[in-house]
Amino acid sequence: MDIKNAGFIQGFIRLTEDAFRKGWHERNGGNLSYRIRPEEIETVKTELKAPEEWVSIGVSVPKLADEYFLVTGTGRYMRNVSLCPEDNIAIIKIDKAGEKYSIVWGLVHGGRPTSELPTHLSNHELKKELTHGKNRVIYHAHPTNTIALTFVLPLEDKVFTRELWEMATEDPVIFPRGVGVVPWMVPGGKAIADATRKLMREYDVAVWAHHGMFVTGENFDEAFGLMDTVEKAAEICVKVRSMGGKKQTITSQNFKDLARDFQVDLREEFLD
Ligand code: 13P
Ligand code: ZN
């Protein structure tokens, strides 16, 4: 089988195409990673090369030892992934200590995985543990309205969550735990990885102030759908504020009624 026809690679490519069309990926903005299942790696293993060069990840992820990930390349454009996957994405293998990675497929004309690899892998490790292995996708984008709100709203989890929940009745059902906010930080590297990981203990969404959004999901649909839902809430928020602000809204009691009937565990401390 041509490796590019593997279901997990097709799912990865579809997300990059849809997300580019959404306008969330100017130039090389954003990145995507997928923790590959052992049975999926088995179907493509004849196309993988043996690990040659081992490169430091920049964070320690011992619980991801020996795992394989499909990742976007640094500096690569989302809009080019579907045209030439082998030039823009890579399969990497993590070493036995969880300190280094090696490219075993892709990036055929050279290059490295995304500069946000430390944040992706650190959060894969955390979410793998918290979801008992179910979480497999980590996705970072630069959606316009969410970024715009970080110039206007206080950079607090509760304020962001409440504003976004209020923008569409079913939004709290999609992200009942809310969203966390990371203050402005230098992109890439260990510091933003650590700050995001701290929030991801409680959330599946982190807003990066003046930069973008970071989400996790069990599969591509879940991660893309979460990004889409939060960004749409942010778009409504921008429009409402542009029209002079809220004249009425969904109340705390409305949220409690919704939580009861939809049987979702809305974060209690954001409901007062
Ligand atoms: P990469 O091209 O290294 O993935 O970086 C893009 C980005 O959005 C960094 O936050
Ligand atoms: Zn970015």
Residue spans of the domains in the chain: they are 1-114, 143-272
**Tokens in use for 135?**
């979480």
DSSP tag of 3: G
Mean pLDDT of 16-35: 98
Whether 26 is catalytic: no
Q: Is the pLDDT of residue 205 over 80?
A: yes
Cα of 236 from ligand 2 centre, angstroms: 23
Ligand nearest to the CA of 193: 1
Please tell me if the CB atom of residue 51 comes closer than 6 angstroms to any atom of ligand 1.
Answer: no
Please tell me if the CB atom of residue 43 comes closer than 6 angstroms to any atom of ligand 1.
Answer: no
User: Please, which pLDDT band fits residue 52 given cuts at 50, 70 and 90?
Assistant: very high
Ligand nearest to the CA of 114: 1
Please tell me if the CB atom of residue 74 comes closer than 6 angstroms to any atom of ligand 1.
Answer: yes
Read off the pLDDT of residues 211-261 as tens digits, 9 standing for 90 and up: 999 999 999 999 999 999 999 999 999 999 999 999 999 999 999 999 999
Domain 143-272 adopts which CATH fold?
A: L-fuculose-1-phosphate Aldolase (3.40.225)
Please tell me if the CB atom of residue 73 comes closer than 6 angstroms to any atom of ligand 1.
Answer: no
User: Please, which pLDDT band fits residue 272 given cuts at 50, 70 and 90?
Assistant: confident
Ligand nearest to the CA of 147: 2
Residue 174 carries which side chain, given as an amino acid letter?
I
User: Please, which pLDDT band fits residue 93 given cuts at 50, 70 and 90?
Assistant: very high
CB–CB of 167/239 below 8 Å?
Answer: no
Residue nearest to atom 10 of ligand 1 (CA): 187
- Give the length of the chain: 272
Q: What is the CATH number of domain 1-114?
A: 3.40.225.10
Please tell me if the CB atom of residue 189 comes closer than 6 angstroms to any atom of ligand 1.
Answer: no
Mean pLDDT (the chain) is: 97
Cα of 74 from ligand 1 centre, angstroms: 6
Identify which of 188, 190, 181, 170 has the alpha carbon closest to the alpha carbon of residue 233.
170
Same fold, 1-114 and 143-272: yes
> Residues within 5 Å of ion ligand 2 by Cβ?
212
Residue nearest to atom 1 of ligand 1 (CA): 74
Q: Is the pLDDT of residue 1 over 80?
A: no
Identify which of 220, 186, 197, 227 has the alpha carbon closest to the alpha carbon of residue 123.
197
Please tell me if the CB atom of residue 80 comes closer than 6 angstroms to any atom of ligand 1.
Answer: no
**Tokens in use for 54?**
């081992």
Alpha helices in the chain (DSSP H): 7-22, 38-44, 78-81, 85-88, 117-130, 144-149, 157-165, 171-174, 190-200, 220-242, 252-262
Residue of 116, 163, 166, 222 marked catalytic: 116
